[in-house]
Structure 1
Amino acid sequence: MNPKHRSSTFVLVIAILALAVLMLRFPRASWEAGVRGLAIWWDVLFPSLFPFFVISEVMLGFGIVHFLGKLLDPLMKPLFRIPGSGGFVMAMGFASGYPVSAKLTTKLREERLVSREEGERLVAFTTSSDPIFLIGAVSVGFFGNPKLAGALAVAHYGSALLVGVLMRFYGAKAAPSTAETGAPDSAPCPGPEAAPRFSLRAAVKAMHEARMLDGRGLGELLGQAIASSLKLMTVVGGLVVFFSVMLEVLTASRVIDVLHSGVRLLLPALALPPELADSLVGGLFEVTLGAKASAAPQGVPLMFKAAAAAFILSWGGLSVHAQVASILNGADLRYFPFLIARIIHAFLSSIILLLLWRPLMGSVPAFVPEALEIGSHRGWGAVPGMFTLFLIIAASLVILSLLAVIIHRIVVYIKKKTEK
């Protein structure tokens, strides 16, 4: 065994043994934390994730992803250097939250619709909080301030798109090829003079070819989608319970106080209130706990508390990181680019919120009624709203893709006229 792997395995074994000892030392706290984690999984995560896992696999089998991929190529390739099928992942990921985009990206990779580096770029910026949690739970529930929803949304999703633009430079020297991926969607991005195509006929043809290539009937396709989605939901539930228990025993044993003290010393150096330390440490492990704690400190300006919430939502918590890592492990996609992207996303979102605090908070009242309506549903009642958001995002991306083609042709026409 490699000495580096041997040392990491030794550290992991020691950490697991220490956690087991703490669970035996605090059995009641461990039990209660496990029950809470299971309740979160069953009441919140299962109804909000499971339908999207199933629907996305069915849409892939019917070729709808290939249809959207052809339509979105003119937008996604120049902007993010990923195939148009990545637009489907972005729409689903932004609408339903983590870790849906990781699951869909691995499916695209299995179908060879994206290369390895394209998949890593894609999952890096499409992993985000879902709007219902950001609006209903954080803005309305934790902060009691519906007006905050617009500011958090702009900071969170705007910084996610910026991360996508930054990640386009990742793996720049390794251009993908059709031979490597087996799909035209993953061909190298067109040069600046190549005219991007927006063809409904080509999209329908791609959908038909993908459907014929898949060949499974609706019953078989639906059954396999449900089986694989249930398997993944079991993994997600286990990780949620594990991190819930781990955080509880670390808190009960006061080990977490060491982290609190370190962060409290660091925050004043960054011109931030030290009272935010508890929320940031909680958010390091679990996004819901950290976001809730960010609204609690008394005497801290709302601007800084909202920035802490934006940081936590974009980081996602180690629980989400473990879910994404376990999903990526099913393909050949690496976790490290995702980790770097989460760090960049967390800092970018909090910085954007602080810089744009006054204009954002002064221009979002019209957003409040819709936010309240979306955020009022939880559990299974949230599914129609999330699917509606997916359709809105997908339609918006198609319109932007068409506009990108039109603008490109206008620029090329003007350039030719000036050269003459």
Structure 2
Amino acid sequence: MKRVLTFLFLLLLFVPAVSAHYYVILDENVSGLYPYVREIAELHSGTVIVSNFSNLDFLNSDDYALLVVSYSRFNESFVYSLYDRLDFDGDGIYNPVVGFLPVRGSPNVVPLMYSLREFRPDGAVFLRAGKVDYDEYLRLSENASLIWVEGHGSPFGVNMGSWGLCPSHLGKPSGKVFVLESCDVGKVWKTDDSLVLALLRKGSPAVVASIDMGGVSYLPERFWASGYPIGKLVQISNAYFMKLGVKPKAVLFGDPALVPVNSSEYPLVKSPATGFYSKIFPRINGYIYTPGEPGLKAVFRAYNNLFSVIDLWRGIFTMRSVGFIVLVIAFAVIFGRIHPGKKTLLRALVSAMASFLLLGAVMYYPPLKVSLQIIFFWTAVAIFMERKVLWGLLTLLLSPTIIAFVAVLLGTTTPSYGCFLVFVSFLTSLVVLVLLFVFGRLFHRVVNL
């Protein structure tokens, strides 16, 4: 009898309880960090499992798991393979909600432990490159608990125009969740001085970053302030990527169960995955998550950013000297080969300006310099369209296609995202072509009245 009781005691001690829905899975290579990660687990009444990540069968679909991973093990292959292995139902998206914490030692864990203890959800701020300077960033982020940042990125930081969010310019990240809508910022294995790990060391409890070209979501930025746990939002965003054939490239660094805001600013509705709309929206554990009640309005809200012309061309014309080169080549061809007349130039310029003003009013207006570059480029497109509409389409598609091709060739992006970029470029090009054609015709009629 005594042996039986001893066996049961050991069983209870080492086997996680079925009712536990939060796990901290500690890499056996850094098992000495157990006392620290245990405190993180206790904040969620969770369980610590020391593992080599070969067997994760104890996880259920509705569980939350923080994977504390040795820095030497953590890379792109590790993330994608784990996402794939945790897809229990074969729908393309991992089932448990997960977050990662790459570590070398206790200095990488202790800040998270303290930040989770002290975290208090508050409001959200949304910052685009070129729209705010560093002092304004400090002011706006002072009382925020969620900071969404958008700009060109790398593992070292995010280019915000006149300044950069980087390890030497973090502001006060303690107690703030960061969503970095930028390329490659999540590739922390590329450098010892990454922005993501610097934010975590300075007290951020969670950072969302991309490990591929492009950002962490094509859903509207307020999606991140919808009142769901941050890990769940990353899972949903990845499911939307998967719906369009893009690998799940958004990664959460930090606590997956953290709810970053104190009230919902975005209507994200959970519904059973049945009926017509279950074919349009991605399925996660038998449910769909839609921006508002499932319907045509929700379809528009979820997918309208695929037609975000301004986002695409603002991105290209703020990509170092790419925009300048594109303009030079376009007008060199125009004045070297086509030789348009003054009337053609004026019509093209007016149609480009009208198209830009309309799209900017619907979406947003980039900084003045970028806006002028976009208008001049669309003027060139309109001139090419005077000869053949196909020339205009090819002009619009050429730059993003070359960027995608080179990125895939160099291995800086996955083929799935390269194809996604070309697909989005095609959709946005159709929008621009239609507007240029319509406004060009209107100008022609007005002039000939």
Higher RCO structure, 1 or 2 (CA under 8 Å, sep 6+): 1
Which category describes the TM-score, using the shorter chain as reference length? under 0.3
Q: Give 1 or 2 for the bigger CA radius of gyration.
A: 2
TM-score, reference length from structure 2: 0.22
Q: Which has the higher helix share?
A: 1
